[in-house]
Amino acid sequence: MIYLDHAATTPLRREALDAMLPFLTEIFGNPSSAHAAGRKAKAALDEAHETVARILNGAPREVVFTSGGTEAINLAIKGAAWASKAHGNQIITTAVEHHAALHAVQHLERFGFEAVVLPVDRYGRVDPDAVAGAITDRTILVTLMLANNEVGTIQPIAEIIDRVRQHPRILVHLDAVQAAPYLPIDVATLGVDMVSIGAHKFEGPKGTGALWMRHGTTILPQTQGGSQERYRRAGTEDVAGAVGLAAAFDLCTRERTAEVRRLRRLRDRLRDAILAVPGVELTGHPRERLPGHLSVICRDADGVSITLALDLDGICASTGSACTTGSPEPSHVLTALGYPEEEALGAVRMSLGRQTTEAEVERAVEVIPRTMARMRAGADAMAADPLGQQVPV
């Protein structure tokens, strides 16, 4: 099997598993317990906070462990919105956000909050001036993703934050779930208030994420029942998950420079072969995109059919976000980029990871362009003879 869907999830790294195992077996204490077993678990949890904070250039007390990127995003958006309700009710976001963010904002609209969903250009980037122009005296939160999970486009975050920071009372949340393995995130220089990450995007365990919150940022907790995570997220902590996230994030960060260079080279090799197929178009920004991420539209073909055919050839790819797999609707990201529905349904996403080898990419170069060309030829034949009649050659 050749796995080209690392944007959906990654395999658990062996070093992360090794770090987790003791806390799934002999060191099983509740970190809130005062006895020796609890203190050992608490020490490991504290160390995980310190590791994540160091990587982000923040403070350990600013890190909140969650059940994943989705919960981190929800805690940031809903928690900040409710805590700031006395100052305003407007939330600014973009049309290409992950559904974790868009659905959280839509949920808040039911309670009197106002959402401003900004359009993006053909590459999936929002205009920083459009963000600035949307701000009013009622704006309380701007929530944006650093890099898109479907087309890989990296947003001009520094320029956007520069505009927003002219209004000191507005909070900024950055969804870095897809970007964290590949882009450096320094909260001290970025100027954001909250950052969400998810462990399974960088070979950590599924079901574990983290929200970094600048000290002094006020949120309304979304779960009640205990004082865990400094009263910001009640419930007995998943010590093993936090340890695994920290271990995987640390290794990923240490290897980032060399790995980004390698992934970009392999991705470009695959990109050039696929774009040589007539009717195949790159989606997302041609340069400002994640290094292992390749997303295309195969015109006059069905993306689901292409991925099923690739699966039969032992190649795992996707049509977009795993969170919307099975939906008959076209990608909201591609429609926001301006693609008509019939073209958006031809989307295919391939994403490389640390375990992707050069030999696997060479095999993919043989199989994927051939499959796409065959699917397009079949679609052309059906269009020429929709009733399946014999056509003279």
Catalytic positions, written as ranges = 323
Report the C-alpha gap between 191 and 174 in whole angstroms.
10
Convert the chain into a string of H (helix), E (strand) and C (coil).
CEECECCCCCCCCHHHHHHHHHHCCCCCCCCCCCCHHHHHHHHHHHHHHHHHHHHHCCCHHHEEEECCHHHHHHHHHHHHHHHCCCCCCEEEEECCCCHHHHHHHHHHHCCCCEEEEECCCCCCCCCHHHHHHHCCCCEEEEEEECECCCCCEECCHHHHHHHHCCCCCCEEEEECCCCCCCCCCCHHHHCCCEEEEEHHHHCCCCCCEEEEECCCCCCCCCCCCCCHHHHCCCCCCCHHHHHHHHHHHHHHHHHHHHHHHHHHHHHHHHHHHHHCCCCEEECCCCCCECCCEEEEEECCCCHHHHHHHHHHCCEECECCCHHHCCCCCCCHHHHHCCCCHHHHCCEEEEECCCCCCHHHHHHHHHHHHHHHHHHHHHHHHHHHCCCCCCCCC
**CB environment 235-250: b (16+ within 10 A), e (fewer):** eebbbbbbbbbbbbbb
| Encoded tokens for 175 | 């969804």
Give, in order, the Cα–Cα distances in Å from 261 to each of 31, 267, 381, 384: 40, 10, 41, 45
Q: Contact 64/238 with Cβ under 8 angstroms?
A: no
